[in-house]
Structure 1
Amino acid sequence: AQDFELQQPQDKVSVTAGEMLNLTCTTSGVGPTGPVKWLKGWDGGNETIYEQKGTFPRVMRVVSESDTEFSIRIRDVRPEDAGTYYCVNTAVVTLQEDDVRSQLICEVLHSTLTAPLRGMYQLSKALRVSPSVSVVADVPSPVEVNKTMNFTCHVKGFYPGDVAVTWLENGMEIKVENISQPVETPRGLFELRSLVEVQATEEKNGSVFTCRVVHDAQDPVSGTATLWIAAPARG
């Protein structure tokens, strides 16, 4: 867990028209910090008063290069400047595979609240982890001619659990019914296995079997294996 705090301690501020308005905002702690900006108003009617990119002629930061001090000054205050101002932080999170069960919590403390306001976001809603795909044979190569053997496709470490598995022999799709359902691992990721049964006839020598996996409508990920047939023993 990481704790990050944004403090906007002022309740009400009164200034005379033409004077300078100081609005205080500071941050502390360690967390997924991102851009900080000031808004006037809320919801659909808000107006950006200051952000780190852009030009705001009457507004300047108190400490321009600080990573923790985001207080601003508005010069030449006018009647239309009256309103409610918010210092807003945008969290920037670099998602990792182990964030499947992690959550981001925003807690608001204010003198007018009897209890903190809390909002939570499950990082799994935004997380996408692509699978690893490998194909292994149940008998070592080369395979005895006319022997029945299996290729197994191992699809591991993906999230969410929506995948489609297709088998191809030399680029041509083949029908396979033995595909397991995705199983959730202790880490919260998913894995599955798919098996194709092959009779090692002489004409299949050198055939390439491909397991193609499409995960969450992304580009396919594939694993391949080649079938080699042992030369018949001579009497």
Structure 2
Amino acid sequence: MVWEQDDIEEDGVDDDGVVPLALAMELCLLRPIQFQYRQVSDAALSLLINDLSLIGHLTALRRFLFTDHGNFADTLCRVLYDAPPLPSHLASQPTAAASSLVSPQLSEAMLREALTLCSLDTDKYAERLTLSVLPPGSAARSQEKGGGGGLLVDAELSYRVDWPLSLVLNRECMVKYQRMWGLMMSARRAVLSLTGLWSEMMQERELPQSVVYAIHALRHEMAHFTSIL
């Protein structure tokens, strides 16, 4: 950088031309560093926003992991938890045997099915999504007769971020997104279960009317609470 004579005179140089050390440090070191800092910051911001589409990635994270696209979240929840239950002869098998039922290909197929049903399969950011699912055996659970459980008891949706975008959307940040997704999907799963419970209650004829009414009132309150989360 080139400094004008007026800049030096305004900063208090004496008549003998002796420049104080503090002033020399500011003019020769601090100001050039600050100038370069602003230049690099502007270039980095332009790279992230214009070349790496940071805003687009943030919007995609909000759409998929913050369940901003409610139709996709509901559809994925149904694909995951409305899956057929495990056969009885496999329900009590160890984790290793049960985990072979949930292959990466099956997980990918479930994710693509949900994306296709919501017309999001052509979204350029959707290809960065990866669905990992865990079978009942991995959670030390077994399918009980009449339990109504699906194939999956746990799932994790991750979003691939490449370098240098990962300097902003780092691992710690993505873990927080995944935790929020897990919370939102748990709420949607509760709504799905309560909705299914209503149809089962309507078919129940043996319970007294007062008991059915009490169960219905409780179900309604729980459904309202989970739906507004």
Fold match (TM-score > 0.5): no
TM-score for the superposition, normalised by structure 2:
0.28
TM-score for the superposition, normalised by structure 1:
0.27
Greater share of strand residues, 1 or 2? Answer: 1
